[in-house]
């Protein structure tokens, strides 16, 4: 990563506890820390490998880079001013922050998640997943597969939740010739890459938009406003050939209603990376749906995950005028 040193007024101590037992690219390395220190002159990062080491460092830390932070730790951190996490979801920390301490989430995930969504769309339209299913019982299912192949080009892609991640999905999808409908709380100016036939609408237009949707992508945050937003009624508004992909949060989708629609052939396929409960229950009806494809919350996983985080943290640090 190319960085430019940024002078700060005094030496600043940062504690970083970013480890994960299952996903190597979620573990902050010394190389990552060095890239931040090279960009922000005077910053000193302590990499912590466990909870005890992290909590012991809080007495001197002004900034922490973490996956989790507990309420009782604030009492151990008299100098703390800023909590930063690579996570995107604003529901990640269930804490009440004392006055003078800020919490920041990140938005770099969009370009990674967008590639996952493009993979989902192409795998469906061009039969990659279907071919795998068919060949388990038929060594040469040419006729059966041919009947299911459709172009992605020219289809209507509706993105429910047109924030940073939604915009990235739209940007990567446009070269494939899809028509985009973005849905957000309040409609705003359309992205520069939008063309004739693309549109950005408010949430009040959702029901109407669903009726002409070929592929629906949910990129919603969690919260009361998004709970069961795609319920049984709205799932019923989608055409029978439609697919649904969820890479946002699991609360936005009625899983039982989705499973019923898939079992009954009222939807073509579902590609799901997030769920109400994770891991997804072993007895979930979605697991028995032939056309439900389940990912274990990995749509943003990539070897460059923390490199992108470091770049965004450096940008956020420079943008703050009080450090």
Same domain for 84 and 138: no
Question: Is 1 domain-assigned?
Answer: no
Residues 116 and 178 in one domain: yes
The verdict on 70 and 172 lying in the same domain is no
Tell whether 27 and 91 lie within a shared domain. yes
104 and 114 in a common domain: no
Residues 190 and 84 in one domain: no
Inter-residue contact 215 to 156 (CB < 8 Å): yes
For residue 28, cis peptide bond before it (omega within 30 degrees of 0): no
Let me know whether 148 and 249 are in one domain.
yes
d(CA 232, CA 235): 5
CATH code assigned at 53 = 3.40.50.720
Please indicate, yes or no, if residue 268 is contained in any of the structural domains. Answer: yes
Same domain flag for 77 and 220: no
Does residue 163 fall inside a structural domain? Answer: yes
Is the domain of 309 the same as that of 239?
no
- Nearest CA to 318 out of 310, 1, 26, 93 is that of 310
- Mark whether 249 is an active-site residue: yes
Residues 76, 191 within the same domain: no
pLDDT value of position 115: 98
Domain that holds residue 48: 6-108+302-319
Query: How many domains would you assign to the chain?
Result: 2
- What pLDDT tens digit does each residue of the chain (323 aa) get? 444 444 445 689 999 999 999 999 999 999 999 999 999 999 999 999 999 999 999 999 999 999 999 999 999 999 999 999 999 987 778 899 999 999 999 999 999 999 999 999 999 999 999 999 999 999 999 999 999 999 999 999 999 999 999 999 999 999 999 999 999 998 889 999 999 999 999 999 999 999 999 999 999 999 999 999 999 999 999 999 999 999 999 999 999 999 999 999 999 999 999 999 999 999 999 999 999 999 999 999 999 999 999 999 999 999 997 77
Active-site residue identified among 278, 287, 290, 315: 278
Looking at the fold, whether 184 and 259 belong to one and the same domain comes out as: yes
| Residue 100 counted as domain residue | yes
**One domain for residues 168 and 261:** yes
Q: For the whole model, what pTM was predicted?
A: 0.94
What whole-number distance in Å separates Cα of residue 23 and Cα of residue 28?
11
Q: Which of the following is catalytic: 129, 297, 307, 318?
A: 297
Instruction: Choose, from 109, 215, 234, 249, the residue flagged as catalytic.
Output: 249
pLDDT at site 6: 46
| Confidence (pLDDT) at 10 | 63
Length of the chain: 323
């Amino acid at each position: 990563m190319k960085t430019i040193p940024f002078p700060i007024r005094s030496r600043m101590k940062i504690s970083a506890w970013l480890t994960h037992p299952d996903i190597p690219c979620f573990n902050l390395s010394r190389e990552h820390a060095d890239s931040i220190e090279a960009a922000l002159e005077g910053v000193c990062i302590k990499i912590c490998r466990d909870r005890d080491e992290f909590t012991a460092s809080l007495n001197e830390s002004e900034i922490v880079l973490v996956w989790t932070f507990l309420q009782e730790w604030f009492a151990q951190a008299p100098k703390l001013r800023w909590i930063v996490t690579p996570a995107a979801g604003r529901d990640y920390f269930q804490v009440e922050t004392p006055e003078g301490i800020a919490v920041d989430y990140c938005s770099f995930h969009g370009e990674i998640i967008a590639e996952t969504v493009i993979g989902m769309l192409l795998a469906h339209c061009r039969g990659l997943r279907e071919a795998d299913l068919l060949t388990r019982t038929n060594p040469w299912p040419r006729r059966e597969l041919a009947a299911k192949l459709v172009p992605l080009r020219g289809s209507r892609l509706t993105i429910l939740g047109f924030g940073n991640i939604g915009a990235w999905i739209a940007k990567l999808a446009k070269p494939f010739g899809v028509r985009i409908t973005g849905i957000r709380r309040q409609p705003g100016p359309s992205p520069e890459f939008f063309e004739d036939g693309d549109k950005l609408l408010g949430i009040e237009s959702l029901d109407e938009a669903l009726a002409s949707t070929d592929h629906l992508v949910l990129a919603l945050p969690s919260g009361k406003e998004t709970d069961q937003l795609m319920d049984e009624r709205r799932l019923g508004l989608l055409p029978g050939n439609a697919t649904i992909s969820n890479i946002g949060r699991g609360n936005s989708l009625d899983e039982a209603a989705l499973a019923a629609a898939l079992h009954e052939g009222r939807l073509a396929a579902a590609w799901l990376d997030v769920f109400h409960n994770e891991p997804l229950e072993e007895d979930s009806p979605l697991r028995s749906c032939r056309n439900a494809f389940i990912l274990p919350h990995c749509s943003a996983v990539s070897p460059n995950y923390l490199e992108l985080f470091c770049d965004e943290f450096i940008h956020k640090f420079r943008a703050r005028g009080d450090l």
